[in-house]
Amino acid sequence: MCANMVHVPSATGGSPAQSAFQHNESKHFLYWHEFCLTVDMTVSCLTAYDEMRTPDGGIRPLYKKYDAWLEETGYAHLSRKSREAELLFRRVGITFNVYGEDAGAERLIPFDVIPRILGNKEWTIVSTGAIQRVRALNAFLDDLYHEQRIIKAGRIPPSILTNTLYRPEMQGVDVPGRVYAHIAGIDVVRTDENQFYVLEDNLRTPSGVSYMLENRKMMMRLFPELFRRYSVAPIEHYPQVLLDNLHAVAPPGIQNPTVVLLTPGACNSAYFEHVFLAQQMGIELVEGQDLFVKDNAVFMRTTEGPRRVDVIYRRIDDDYLDPLAFRPDSILGVAGLVSVYRNGGVTLANAIGTGVADDKATYVYVPDMIRFYLEEEPILPNVPTYRPSIEEDRQFVLAHLDELVVKEVQGSGGYGMLIGPTASKAQLDEFRARILANPANYVAQPTLALSTCPTLVAEGIAPRHVDLRPFVLSGKTVTLVPGALSRVALREGSLVVNSSQGGGTKDTWVLNDA
């Protein structure tokens, strides 16, 4: 996911060196009201909404107690706590792998000890908008794999059926509760006090919730005094809510369903999260070799003999789930699993075929899905998106490539993308050629001025761009806990928050009384 920005004229005028700069020695605050990016020796200055500070340097109401606490404690205390957090995270083993790195070593996701604080009003916008979006996406998937009313109504083109993430094997399959995306991560960005946008939807195997939970535990351990000053909504019940939702979608007639978490193994970048969630829910963590199919059912090998499995929370992509149905060379999945699934003998969360709904080419139609299935107006708007497969859009994108963010429609993790304002001429030329060669493989978006939060850096405390990923759970109802994963771009001027691209995470506080 990319942090997008929009060009805004300087509020102060003059050169970048004359922009409003604040350096509060007592708190080590380093603040620019403008963020300047250098592209081919041309400086482009952009303005972003600061979630802690007002344009005149004042403190916003939500952060006043925290600011007073900072006045008492100081930068040195935060630095010590940051080093302590790193040691604790290493001891616990909260790591991830970055694919393609020569060393292949596990790395910590950097953790910022300054929390991101949201009030009830802000959280209501995000949470109701995310729930609305997931309700519409589930309705779309059910329709797409059954009657296809939205295509017949002309609201979405039939070409969506040629998307490589559409799974014809799911056509006509009835899934329990008509729920396809049991766990969804909706990436949200903020541009103003009450203005939020959805950057993308994650419906296949969304990750990151373990960091949301571990970040909170770390903050409570490091700064218990802060939780006496603030009434922060709890999030530790997330694993139980997830487990309740998984129980709710078990095949009909199952009273006490057995739930397992299916992982591709220790080499997966999110393996820590797989272990963590299985432990927190009290369920078995299994690999494909631990399961087998017999008599239209899935069984788990145990020391006491085979045990039937009713719900599989799978963290394996569609292609690797079943060598008999998809990739025959896969050794990660379970032979015959898809046949049992289609016959209703087991539930998969998330369902096979959800990827067609979180593809970036489908993203542009989600507001229409909300209107079509829910008869409501979208609470969280999309970022305006151009599709180079359309001639008019392609000409615009090629003419404004240095102003746009360009993404591969099936890309993720910050890979396969171009951030126009920071790209070199060679990078722009390369992407221009890619778009001309395969225009349907890309979408482009204007750059949004993403909000910033105070962040601990080597020089002091400075604003860095953030996004927000709330995790929406679907079972009997569609809900989410009052918290989310905040990802932060730690490098000055960076627009990319992905951990694989050098980003970090923050604890997100939703306040009960604000």
Could you read off the pLDDT of 102-120 as tens digits, one per residue? Answer: 444 566 789 999 999 999 9
Position 16 scores a pLDDT of: 26
238-248 vs 271-281: helix crossing angle, rounded to 10: 80
Per-residue pLDDT band at 482 (split at 50, 70, 90): very high
Position 392 scores a pLDDT of: 94
More confident residue, 367 or 27: 367
Tens-place pLDDT, residues 377-392 = 999 999 999 999 999 9
Position 78 scores a pLDDT of: 95
Per-residue pLDDT band at 19 (split at 50, 70, 90): very low
Whether the per-residue pLDDT at 200 is higher than 50: the answer is yes
Q: Which of 169-173, 385-389, 447-451, 484-488 has the least mean pLDDT?
A: 447-451
Position 187 scores a pLDDT of: 96
Tens-place pLDDT, residues 286-331 = 999 999 999 999 999 999 999 999 999 999 999 999 999 999 999 9
Give, for 82, the enclosing helix (H) or strand (E).
helix 75-92
Q: What is the mean pLDDT of residues 471-489?
A: 95
How far is residue 181's CA from residue 357's CA, in Å, rounded to a whole number? Answer: 9
Q: Which of 39-43, 47-51, 433-437, 508-512 has the least mean pLDDT?
A: 39-43
Give domain limits for the chain: 252-345, 391-446
209-222 vs 75-92: helix crossing angle, rounded to 10: 130
Place of tokens 């615009």: 396
Position 8 scores a pLDDT of: 29
- Residue partners of 508: CB distance under 8 A and separation at least 6: 115, 116, 118, 212, 215, 468, 483, 484, 485, 486
More confident residue, 9 or 365: 365
Whether the per-residue pLDDT at 99 is higher than 60: the answer is no
Position 226 scores a pLDDT of: 95
Position 4 scores a pLDDT of: 39
Position 102 scores a pLDDT of: 45
Tell me if domain 252-345 and domain 391-446 are identical in fold. no
Tens-place pLDDT, residues 348-357 = 999 999 999 9
What topology is assigned to 252-345 in CATH?
A: Rossmann fold (3.40.50)
Provide the 10 A C-beta neighbour count for residue 162: 9
Provide the 10 A C-beta neighbour count for residue 206: 22
Position 419 scores a pLDDT of: 86
Whether the per-residue pLDDT at 199 is higher than 80: the answer is yes
Whether the per-residue pLDDT at 41 is higher than 50: the answer is no
Give, for 118, the enclosing helix (H) or strand (E).
strand 111-118
**Are residues 434 and 427 in contact, defined by beta-carbon separation less than 8 angstroms?**
no
Q: What is the largest CA-CA distance in the chain?
A: 75
Whether the per-residue pLDDT at 27 is higher than 60: the answer is no
**Are residues 441 and 427 in contact, defined by beta-carbon separation less than 8 angstroms?**
no
Tens-place pLDDT, residues 362-382 = 999 999 999 999 999 999 999
How far is residue 312's CA from residue 296's CA, in Å, rounded to a whole number? Answer: 15
Position 448 scores a pLDDT of: 82
Position 487 scores a pLDDT of: 94
Per-residue pLDDT band at 34 (split at 50, 70, 90): very low
State what percent of residues in the chain have pLDDT above 90. 74
Whether the per-residue pLDDT at 279 is higher than 50: the answer is yes
Position 90 scores a pLDDT of: 87
What average pLDDT is seen over the chain?
87
Q: What is the residue-wise DSSP string for 125-187?
A: HHHHHHHHHHHHHHHHHHHHTTT-HHHHTTSS-GGGGGSTT--GGGTTPPPGGG-S-SEEEEE
Greatest mean pLDDT among 307-321, 417-431, 490-504: 307-321
- Residue partners of 193: CB distance under 8 A and separation at least 6: 49
For the domain covering 391-446, report its CATH number: 3.30.1490.270
Total residue length of the chain: 514
Position 69 scores a pLDDT of: 95
